[in-house]
Structure 1
Amino acid sequence: MPTTTKRGSGSTSLPGVNKIWRALPGGRVARDWYAWRGKGAPAIARFEAATRAAVIEQESSVEGAKLIAQGYAEATHPKVDTRTLGGILTAWEGSPAFIHRAHSTKRNERNALKQIGSAGIAKTPAKFLTPKSVKAVRRDIRTWLQKVADEQGPRAADVRKEILSKALNWGIDEGYCEANPADGIEDFSYSDRSDIIWLGGELMGFESAGRAARRKLMKKDAPEPEEPPDTTLALLLACYSGLRREDLCRFADPHIGEHAIALKPLKAQRRARTAGKKAPADIIIPRTPELNAVIALCRQVRAKWEEKDKIKRAHLLLNSRGRPWTPAGLTSSFIKVRDAAKILHVYDDGRNPEPKRLHDARGTFVTHMRCLGYTKEEVAEMVGWDTDDVDRVAKKYADADRIALAWLERLKRRAG
């Protein structure tokens, strides 16, 4: 007899606990208790009986309450040797504070945690994580991070520093250590990229590299499609919508209105959920002629896939197999084309050039919308920036007279 599941009421004095009813062979029932909801949640107790009432009676007994409390304590405070820095990191990774975070965040941070755990700093005794010894340990961590920056890049070092700091702050709250030596270490990379945009020549170079990559995958005598490559469409949509990578990947027909696109950014939703606030309102992006052109190209490519395999799709952006992009897949393909095109941003202050990123398209969107006459307040609301950042980017890349004329034309259209 196949096992079926049904969610229980979930009411309990233990925060986050999840209960699921299960039908067993012979008409018996069981209820499994989990430490929290979601994939990978550890089971903390199970109760079986002939009826649901009997199961609930077992759970309500003194023995049942003890079993549940013991299982919950073991799941939320795993038995890990926390006498070293690496042990504290392991305990943090197994805690609800880590488990309840976004799946994409956990996936990315687990790779960094694995590298930190294999480094020499992981053997640092927790007894040295005190205000008295923090300077010496901070020096060791900074030395290791500098090595990471030299071998893997400044951004990789900053990611590991941020993870270390989060884990050790958690360790302080749990009583595993007294100080956070990662706190106070300066960033290795220059994080503010709001004034970096994709220029016209760079977009053309990116498309050329994308077409070259596509030709390598095509049959020898097959005609080349007129539509831009999938990576180019993703970059163009980012430039003319201002959407972040994860929102680009889920962008679909229901988000497209007659005059504007509207959706709730995933990043804003996560921040609201973490802060215990209600979901944010939709961001509204006007459908400019350029954005309409990109949407039309995306639909044209989608229609070819639907004609080929007879499967309807709602997503706008599709990869080379006709499937919706995943954020990781889009980044990987984007980097390959960008590196083939050798597109770098050269800083004005003499810092080493860095490759352009997909996220830099948001600066392109800001400049484009200001040149169309939208106010800095309107554009700031679309991308979630400060108005000063919007003004600075627009002034750097767009002629002030062009912005003023576009604004006047927009006022005239409104008056008409």
Structure 2
Amino acid sequence: MKTRSRPRKHNPHIPAHIDQSRLPGGVYFDQRGYGRWYVLARDAAGRQRRKNIADAKATLSELHRITEEQDGIDKHSLKYLCERFHESAQCLALAAKTREDYEYCREALLKIPTKLGKPLGDLSTKQFSPALVQRLVDQIAAEGTPSKANHIVRYLGRVFRWGINRGYCETNPATGVEHAKERKQQRLPTGPIMAKLIAHSRERGNDYPRRGQIGSCPTYLWITMEIAYLCRLRGIEVVTLTDANITEHGLLTNRRKGSRDNIVTWSPRLREAIDTAQKRRADIWQKRGRAIPMMEDRRPLIVSRNGDALRKSSFDSAWQRFVTRALEQGIITQEERFSLHDLKRRGITDTKGNRHDKQQASGHRSASMMDTYDLSVPHVPNSGD
């Protein structure tokens, strides 16, 4: 489907039954005579020509159907079904976090390669069966990401159920599929292992590697690791920090899942990570010729190599590549492997003070959460003292 580069201006001549905000891109209305809808296209000689596609009585759905047929969109593909679902009122009414999870699942699902030489998103929905979906779940789980496999199968089931109710498909191949078994791990990386991996990411950090350079990784990896540990933050909480979170006294957190925000006071390590992130962003924006937003909350602290706010899915991909390469090079062993979220657990465990102090530092509202995040062994006097 065509996309618009900028919002349309209201055209008073367009028929009233058309929602102008939902018109497909590249479709225009000529009010002369009885009125006609048209598109612009180039002929064999490269000259731009007008092509009428419908009269003024055409509905919005008919205009979308016509443009889709002209663009060669396969209306039976999984990609098409996912696009219709994400544009639906039912999807848009979901919570922001749920929509974010669905976007991640769609991006990961549609790009999976198949034996047919094309991505999974190009397959017809009629080619999907419970056996195919089960193989997909088992394959993703075997890569060490059972949680990702379960998120994708739940998303797939939701999309197909929505499609059946609206005539886009006939069956739901995700029904009855076995979910991957998720291991409830409470990994706690040791200080030396954590320091080794952070040092390795600093050494290999290079945002603009030369052609053929192997083993480099984005500089934002070590920055994100440092902030996650020092401030006891989740990965999504680090990548969504902006200049508005930087205060005179420290870094103002932006915790999720109902946790309380707090200000983590400055330390040399935290200041270095923040300063490096800002300098890196300034260099990228200058190289790309990007304008600097005036509002602090519009200036993301962690940006991608092209200067945009870093997406969590992009960070997850870069992290997995980095850890896999560290395993292959013997920097860490499989037993020493940990996730970015484990750095939050390490940070809470290393926080000085009693359990109340650690709970206040982590922002958790429930003291029971300390059983998950505080893995320190308390020192107590013996019963004879």
TM over 0.5: yes
Q: Given that residues 255 and 263 in structure 1 are in contact (C-alpha distance below 8 angstroms), is that contact kept between their aligned partners in structure 2?
A: yes
Distance 1:236 1:104 in 2: 25
Alignment CA distance shift 1:20-1:174 (3 Å)? same
- CA 323–124 in structure 1, closer or farther in 2 if over 3 Å, else same: closer
Output the CA distance in 2 between the equivalents of 1:109 and 1:200.
36
Determine whether 1:115 maps to 2:121.
no
The secondary structure found in structure 1 opposite 2:189 is: coil
Counterpart for residue 343 of structure 2: 361
CA distance 1:344–1:182, shift in 2 (3 Å): farther
Q: Per-residue deviation at 1:172?
A: 3.2
Cα distance in structure 1, aligned partners of 2:303 and 2:81: 37
Structure 1 counterpart of 2:10: 21
1:95 to 67, 84, 88: 84
Q: Distance in 2 between matches of 1:218 and 1:125?
A: 43
* TM-score, structure 2 as length reference: 0.58
TM-superposed CA distance for 1:235, in Å, is: 0.3
User: Could you tell me which residue of structure 2 aligns to residue 293 of structure 1?
Assistant: 268
Is the contact made by 2:230 and 2:347 (CA closer than 8 Å) also made in structure 1?
Answer: yes
1:390 aligns with 2:365: no
1:198-213 mapped onto 2 (5 Å cutoff): 198-213=189-204
1:21 alignment partner, SS class: coil
Closer, same or farther in 2 for the Cα pair 1:182/1:362, shift >3 Å? Answer: farther
CA displacement 1:116-173 (0-9 Å, x = unmatched): 87679967858xx9xxxxxxx5355324533454468645644542342222222233
Structure 1 pair 113–285 and aligned structure 2 pair: CA distance change class (3 A): same
For structure 1, list consecutive stretches of 5 or more residues without a partner in the other structure. 8-18, 23-27, 56-62, 130-136, 220-228, 269-280, 347-352, 405-416
Question: Is 1:242–2:201 an aligned residue pair?
Answer: no
In structure 2, the partner of 1:142 is 134
Q: Give the structure with the higher percent helix.
A: 1
After superposition, the Cα gap between the structure-2 partners of 1:158 and 1:302, relative to the gap in structure 1 and judged at 3 Å, is closer
Q: What TM-score do the two structures reach when normalised by structure 1? A: 0.55
Structure 2 gap segments, 5+ residues each: 36-54, 93-98, 211-218, 287-291, 294-298
Secondary structure (helix, strand or coil) at the match of 2:261 reads strand
| Deviation by residue 1:382-402 (Cα, 9 ceiling, x = unmatched) | 368x653432331xx212348
Instruction: Give the match's secondary structure for 2:9.
Output: strand
Render the CA deviation track for 1:315-339: whole Å, top value 9, x for unaligned.
Answer: 5457799997554554455445434
Give me the identity figure in percent: 15
Distance 2:86 2:274 in 1: 41
Q: What is the distance in 2 between the residues matched to 1:160 and 1:184?
A: 14
Structure 1 contact 261–286 (Cα < 8 Å) conserved: yes
Q: RMSD value over aligned CA atoms?
A: 5.4
Superposed counterparts of 1:11-410, under 5 Å: 20-21=9-10, 42-43=24-25, 46-49=28-31, 66-68=58-60, 70-71=62-63, 87=76, 89-97=78-86, 106=103, 109-115=106-112, 125=126, 138-139=130-131, 141-150=133-142, 154=146, 157-176=149-168, 180-190=172-182, 192-193=184-185, 195-214=186-205, 230-259=220-249, 261-262=251-252, 283-288=260-265, 292-301=267-276, 315-317=300-302, 325=310, 327=312, 330-338=315-323, 339-340=325-326, 342-343=331-332, 346=335, 355-369=337-351, 371=353, 373-374=355-356, 378=360, 382=363, 387-394=367-374, 397-401=375-379
CA contact (8 A) 2:285 2:307 kept: no
**Contact residue 251 and residue 265 of structure 2 kept, 8 A:** no
CA distance in 2, matches of 1:110, 1:182: 18
CA distance in 1, matches of 2:281, 2:74: 55
* Aligned-partner residue type, residue 21 of structure 1: H
Report the secondary structure of 1:287's partner residue.
strand
Separation in structure 2 between the aligned mates of residue 323 and residue 400 of structure 1, nearest angstrom = 44
